[in-house]
């Protein structure tokens, strides 16, 4: 298997029910040797610090996992290096975290220590006003997103009428039975939940096309993604039952649904095609769910589903517009804190950190 220098993922995403984070799955305490929790204001250099560490460790030959921020995909929320048991994460809202095993495993790096209090003097009212304006826009965005969730759920409920559950179960059983038990000292095997897609201020973003380089990719094809999440869920359970660890990547429009499934030890990946976030990369095997769909019933609901998709796209556009406006205000807050940061001290701390690890 080709080993990726960087794996790009999301550990959290906005969903119709609010921000959902899987940050506890980045590197659980039982797997970590050292975890760093970054605190401090926006614009304080936390993402730049993580990019610098990831770049140097990659140059040293380590494979790194980069977790992007759903509110700004160019920024990082976390970096993990499995071979070192190292995890560095932004531990501020909306994914606040505190050390579980202080000093022994977990440490805090407070970027607020590099702020010049005098340079921030006089900005309190401005920051409060900007935060208020941002809150209004985020409330608006989440209202649109909640509406997306209701339409999406209604569409999925209608789609179930076209699904042949027995046929899908038979397919899942055949696929599951083909998975060979693997020696594993842990029982049961573990499933790591994350995201490979997100609704961002720049629109829907998917990182899936480059996520499974070197894997044998099974592409699941079906009308309107009917049955895909159910199949992936059953395959994940089947893999775990025989001791195979899995990574399930969830749908930000409905985080209870799985979009993609990765079996790292087997170099296998199962992906959903089509839709907003559908996989468009290399395919080694195609799994067609046509036999699991009742064509007569699908044709009866197809027109309604097309109307739902039109409504979803309109609501999605409004959601993205509001998120984009909120990000613009957030950038103004960042500018204030950037102007008060002593980045020379940040650079000095970064160099000492690199020497330490």
User: What confidence tier does 184 reach under pLDDT thresholds 50, 70, 90?
Assistant: low
Query: What pTM, to 2 d.p., does this model score?
Result: 0.94
In the chain, at which residue ranges do the beta strands (DSSP E only) sit?
6-10, 12-15, 18-21, 34-39, 64-69, 72-81, 86-90, 106-110, 191-195, 197-200, 203-206, 216-221, 246-251, 254-263, 268-272, 285-288
- Check residue 223 and give its pLDDT: 84
pLDDT at 186: 58
185: pLDDT strictly greater than 60: no
pLDDT at residue number 61: 93
Say which DSSP state 232 is in. Answer: H
CA 89, CA 156: separation in Å to the nearest integer?
Answer: 35
Identify the pLDDT of residue 3.
52
pLDDT digits (tens, 9 = 90+) for 30-73: 889 999 999 998 889 999 999 999 999 999 999 999 999 999 99
Residue 242, φ and ψ in degrees, nearest 5: -100, 15
C-beta of residue 23 within 8 angstroms of C-beta of residue 90 = no
In this structure, are residues 73 and 125 in contact, taking their beta carbons and an 8 Å threshold? no
Tokens of 11: 């550990």
- % of the chain surpassing 90 pLDDT: 83
């Amino acid at each position: 298997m080709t080993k990726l220098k960087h794996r790009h993922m999301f550990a959290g995403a906005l969903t119709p029910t609010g921000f959902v984070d899987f940050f506890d799955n980045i590197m659980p305490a039982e797997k970590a040797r050292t975890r760093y929790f970054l605190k401090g204001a926006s614009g304080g250099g936390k993402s730049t610090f993580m990019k610098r560490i990831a770049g140097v460790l990659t140059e040293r030959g380590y494979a790194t996992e980069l977790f992007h921020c759903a509110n700004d995909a160019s920024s990082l929320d976390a970096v993990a290096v499995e071979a070192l048991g190292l995890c560095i994460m932004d531990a501020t809202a909306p994914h606040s975290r505190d050390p579980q095993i202080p000093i022994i495993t977990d440490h805090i790096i407070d970027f607020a220590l590099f702020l010049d209090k005098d340079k921030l003097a006089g900005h309190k009212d401005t920051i409060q006003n900007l935060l208020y304006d941002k809150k209004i826009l985020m409330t608006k965005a989440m209202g649109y997103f909640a509406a997306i969730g209701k339409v999406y759920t209604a569409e999925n409920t209608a789609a179930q009428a076209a699904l042949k559950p027995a046929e899908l179960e038979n397919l899942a059983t055949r696929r599951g039975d083909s998975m060979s038990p693997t020696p594993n000292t842990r029982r049961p095997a573990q499933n790591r939940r994350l995201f490979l897609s997100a609704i961002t201020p720049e629109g829907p973003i998917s990182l899936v096309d480059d996520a499974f380089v070197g894997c044998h990719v099974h592409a699941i094809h079906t009308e309107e993604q009917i049955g895909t999440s159910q199949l992936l869920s059953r395959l994940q359970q089947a893999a775990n039952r025989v001791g195979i660890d899995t990574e399930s990547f969830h749908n930000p429009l409905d985080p209870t649904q799985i979009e993609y499934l990765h079996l790292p030890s087997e170099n296998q990946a199962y992906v959903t095609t089509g839709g907003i976030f559908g996989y468009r990369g290399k395919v080694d095997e195609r799994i067609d769910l046509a036999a699991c769909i009742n064509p007569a019933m699908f044709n009866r609901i197809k027109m309604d589903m097309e109307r739902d998709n039109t409504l979803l796209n309109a609501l999605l556009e409004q959601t993205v517009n509001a998120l984009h406006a909120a990000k613009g205000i957030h950038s103004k807050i960042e500018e204030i804190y950037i102007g008060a940061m002593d980045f020379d001290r940040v650079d000095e701390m970064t160099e000492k950190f690199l020497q330490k690890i």
